[in-house]
Structure 1
């Protein structure tokens, strides 16, 4: 029988291997996950919808013979629909019960994952701090009262606290990478068109929004991408061809990568010394592994149109989603239905014309051209993930100073994030640094469009050189800290 401590030290691939070897069972793993959620979740508020009976039904119907058979899993309460289970997007107005499974949900089930719950999100996913009026705030497992990041804060916190080894997440302006950095886990933002949003959506936020997972290990991320990535009939486009298996290619470390080091934020925001230290230490680590690191800059016109284009697309997309919900329910949209911060994005959408939206799409496509030129000289770009360490709850609250201050703070802290969403390229945050206060500080790597392979191979190399899985928050760790068990 697997102990709770052993469960905490395993990644998803390792747990699945134990199931295959009959050293544990899916039922046993599900019971351990439920036990962990019951014990830890009251402290962090990561899981907001319990789906234990659905997971038990999966077991009763016969465990799917997939590569992750029997491994507990969580869905983000945004975009990934599960038939018959309420979705909220962190908003009372957006609540509803879908009558279908999203394609990714179907693929997770076929892989054998036991979907045990849904994780918390900020209202409509529109913040880098996970809190809402429906479920409250998700706390950072490393320090209660601090933000877990957003918008996939519930998923990142659940993985960091070892409730599950991997959880679904989405990223429209940093929403996988921000919370993964804040919570000290691995987070890969995939290329535009790599993972389908079907069957109901062709693209989200003009392709800026993508979905994947937050994970403890790189190999979990690689295997989940193998599961998620096949194109879906009817998708408006697809990312460039992928390897036969991301899980297999990560066994081959990259050699002699050209890495561009960027420490100046695109909008000119000040970068906190802790975040600079993290990226400088990482640059030295890269050089010690035989890669070549040179300082560079990203001249992408952030303050001359790109930030406005991203805000226009986000505001327009959120307004379209809200109007669609209003039409399907026969309700009227009012300011009382949304928090002040969400209202500001909706106002941007209300003020945008069709021509404005068309211009915004052209502008993000120009960012893709700009980054393609950058990558003629560099295989990867290294940046801080965030400009600040994790902050206390309330730091990102909408203030009485209004839109300008709210959006300025939003963009300033996540200044390195939205560029990859605009360009469509893949990017990852890697948990390689903790500051003197014991808070995790991630570093970001960006690769050319379609090249998740290089990112994952390099991440696996970093994981061997400077392992992170053995580090876990005190509230999670009544387990020995000697090292992760991968099975």
Structure 2
């Protein structure tokens, strides 16, 4: 969020970011910026890391303009000798895609979520506004009868990997810094504890189920170019909205002290974590777990004059198509000069 705030404030034209569950697209949505998460493997993470978060995370940037993000993507992409994947090389540069006509696209629209059955009206309004401008530009907009994936099941698989990788990251940081548990926030320690309590078979099962999510999304993309959803299910949250109440923090501390994470890992607490932590952002993890490219585009401002983005999810390697469409939308609904009245 700090990088996005710096760009939105005009301190820098673009800033580095990473996205393991939406952390490029969500801050971009909250700050009225453009944010593109690239396909798995397009931006190398080496030489130290091969596949951050099991391939779900990638580096990138947030920027005010599509042009700047495209130019930075040209700089960031390309294989290294230790890359686990060989990304497809585009015929030209991503910067060249800006201004090129995207063609007539078939866009499937979905706002449904089994994690959050009642998205905020402003999130729905953002998608409706995006659908309207897409139609004006000649694209085919199709309302989906149901989501192309089960986001609650996907969220469980996502968090299973997240917990385990959190435990791994904490252990790595301890080894490198000599720190003990006191060097980590309580929430981080709790997630790491749940990760250590995860059955290894369940981790492998979650990884294997990832391929089922890929197949279902590929079935959708066989008949649609892009999936359109809200980026977030709510407008930007207020500062402090996610602060844990003191009573609950004491309860968390008690759980860690009692070392009962192994018992809690397989109770409804995980479902509660999904609802509480992903309820306002149920749409973004799909692109991470499946490795597909996705972007948040700032096409809507709320009645309180706050930005809220819409997300487009493309086929694997469809960054060029996303950039062409984003540039077309930017020209039709310019956002560079929009500022909230704070």
The reply to whether TM is greater than 0.5 is yes
Paired residues for 1:155-234 under 5 Å: 155-234=3-82
C-alpha distance in 2, partners of 1:472/1:394?
22
Q: Is the 8 A contact 1:250 1:456 kept in 2?
A: yes
CA deviations 1:37-77 (Å, max 9, x no partner) are: xxxxxxxxxxxxxxxxxxxxxxxxxxxxxxxxxxxxxxxxx
Paired residues for 1:38-437 under 5 Å: 153-296=1-144, 297-303=146-152, 305-332=153-180, 334=181, 336-399=182-245, 400=248, 405-437=272-304
Instruction: Look up the SS of the partner of 2:35 in the other structure.
Output: strand
In structure 2, relative to structure 1, the CA distance for the partners of 1:218 and 1:204 (3 Å cut) is: same
Q: Is the 8 A contact 1:222 1:247 kept in 2?
A: yes
Which of the pair has the greater relative contact order for Cα pairs under 8 Å at 6+ separation?
A: 2
- In structure 2, the gaps of 5 or more residues are 253-268
C-alpha RMSD of the superposition: 1.7
Most deviating of 316-325 and 448-457: 316-325
C-alpha distance in 1, partners of 2:52/2:124?
32
C-alpha distance in 1, partners of 2:42/2:297?
20
C-alpha distance in 2, partners of 1:456/1:326?
40
Q: Is the 8 A contact 1:311 1:348 kept in 2?
A: no
Question: Deviation at 1:160?
Answer: 0.5
Question: Deviation at 1:436?
Answer: 1.0
Q: Is the 8 A contact 1:173 1:417 kept in 2?
A: yes
Question: Deviation at 1:406?
Answer: 4.7
C-alpha distance in 1, partners of 2:338/2:177?
46
Question: Deviation at 1:170?
Answer: 0.4
Q: Which has the higher helix share?
A: 2
Q: Is the 8 A contact 2:113 2:151 kept in 1?
A: no
Most deviating of 215-224 and 323-332: 323-332
Instruction: Look up the SS of the partner of 1:413 in the other structure.
Output: coil
Q: Does 1:460 align with 2:327?
A: yes
In structure 2, relative to structure 1, the CA distance for the partners of 1:189 and 1:443 (3 Å cut) is: same
Q: Is the 8 A contact 2:25 2:35 kept in 1?
A: yes
C-alpha distance in 1, partners of 2:294/2:67?
16
Q: Is the 8 A contact 2:115 2:275 kept in 1?
A: no
C-alpha distance in 2, partners of 1:238/1:312?
27
Match of 1:144 in 2: none
Q: Is the 8 A contact 2:314 2:322 kept in 1?
A: yes
Instruction: Look up the SS of the partner of 1:260 in the other structure.
Output: strand
C-alpha distance in 1, partners of 2:154/2:33?
29
C-alpha distance in 1, partners of 2:111/2:129?
12
Question: Deviation at 1:473?
Answer: 4.2
In structure 2, relative to structure 1, the CA distance for the partners of 1:337 and 1:262 (3 Å cut) is: same
C-alpha distance in 2, partners of 1:329/1:183?
34
- In structure 1, the gaps of 5 or more residues are 1-152, 476-487
Q: Is the 8 A contact 1:429 1:442 kept in 2?
A: yes
TM-score, normalised via structure 2 length: 0.89
Instruction: Look up the SS of the partner of 2:47 in the other structure.
Output: coil
TM-score, normalised via structure 1 length: 0.63
Match of 1:41 in 2: none
